[in-house]
Amino acid sequence: MDLDVPSLLIVNTLLQIVAALCLLMAALSLPRQAGLTYWALSGFAQAAGLALTNPLGWLPPWLTLLSSQFLIFAGYGLAYVGVLRFLGRPTREAGPILAVGVVLAAMFLWFTLGAPEDRGRVLAGSLFFATLSAAMAWRLLRQAERSLHPAATVTAGIYAVWALLALARAGWALVIDWNGTAQEPQAMTVLTRLIVICVTTTVTNGYLWMISRRLDCDLMQQAREDPLTGVANRRVMWAAGEMEVSRALRHHRSLSLLMIDIDHFKTVNDRWGHGTGDALLVAVADTLAEELRRSDVLARVGGEEFMALLPETGLEDAWSVAERVRRRVATITLDRPQGPVRCTVSIGVATLGPDGQVWDDLVGTADQALYRAKDTGRNRTETLSLGPTMPERGSSHPVQPLILPGWGA
Instruction: Name the domain boundary from 224, 258, 281.
Output: 224
| Residue 394, beta-bridge partner list | 382
| CATH value at residue 117 | 1.20.1070
Half-sphere exposure of 335 (CA within 13 A, CB side): 0
The proportion of the chain whose per-residue pLDDT surpasses 70, expressed as a percent, equals 87
pLDDT digits (tens, 9 = 90+) for 130-168: 999 999 999 999 999 988 988 999 999 999 999 998 998
Together in a domain, 257 and 357: yes
* Ordered DSSP codes for 262-311: ETTHHHHHHHH-HHHHHHHHHHHHHHHHHHS-TTSEEEE-SSSEEEEEEE
User: What sign for the dihedral angle of Cα 396, 402, 406, 409?
Assistant: negative
167, 203: one domain: yes
Residue 407 inside a domain? The answer is no
- Considering 162, 197, 224, which residue would you say is the last residue of a domain? 224
Q: Are 259 and 349 within one domain?
A: yes
Considering the domain architecture, whether residues 202 and 307 belong to the same structural domain is answered as no
Tell me the chain's radius of gyration from C-alpha atoms.
32
**201 plus 346 within the same structural domain:** no
155 and 68 assigned to the same domain: yes
Helix %, strand %, coil % of the chain (to 5): 65, 10, 25
The verdict on 243 and 276 lying in the same domain is yes
Query: Are the CB atoms for 26 and 211 separated by under 8 Å?
Result: yes
Predicted confidence (pLDDT) per residue in 173-220, tens digit:
888 765 544 456 666 677 777 787 888 888 989 999 999 999 988 888
Whether residues 195 and 245 share a domain: the answer is: no
124 and 266 part of one domain: no
User: Among the three residues 170, 200, 224, which one is the final residue of a domain in this structure?
Assistant: 224
The C-alpha atoms of residue 178 and residue 89 are separated, in whole angstroms, by 43
pLDDT at position 193: 72
Bond prior to 150 in cis (omega within 30° of 0): yes
Pick from 345, 342, 326: which is nearest to 334 by CA?
342
Domain count, the chain: 2
Residue 400: its pLDDT value, please?
35
Distances (CA, A) of 26 to 14, 40, 69, 216: 19, 9, 27, 15
Please report whether residue 408 resides in a domain. no
pLDDT at 58: 64
Q: Do residues 256 and 348 both lie within one domain?
A: yes
Residues of the chain falling short of pLDDT 70: 1-5, 54-59, 177-188, 354-356, 385-409
* CB-based contact 209:282 (threshold 8 Å): no
Q: Determine the residue type at 157.
A: G
Residue 191 lies in a domain: yes
Tell me, yes or no, whether 17 and 112 share the same domain: yes
Which CATH number belongs to the domain containing residue 359 in this structure?
3.30.70.270
> Domain residues for 331?
234-385
Of 151, 149, 158, residue with least CA distance to 129: 158
Predicted local distance difference test score (pLDDT) of residue 407: 33
Counts of helices then strands in the chain (DSSP H, E): 12, 7
Q: Domain check: are 159 and 108 in the same one?
A: yes
pTM of the model: 0.70
Give the DSSP per-residue string, 38-78. Answer: HHHHHHHHHHHHHHHHS--SSS-HHHHHHHHHHHHHHHHHH
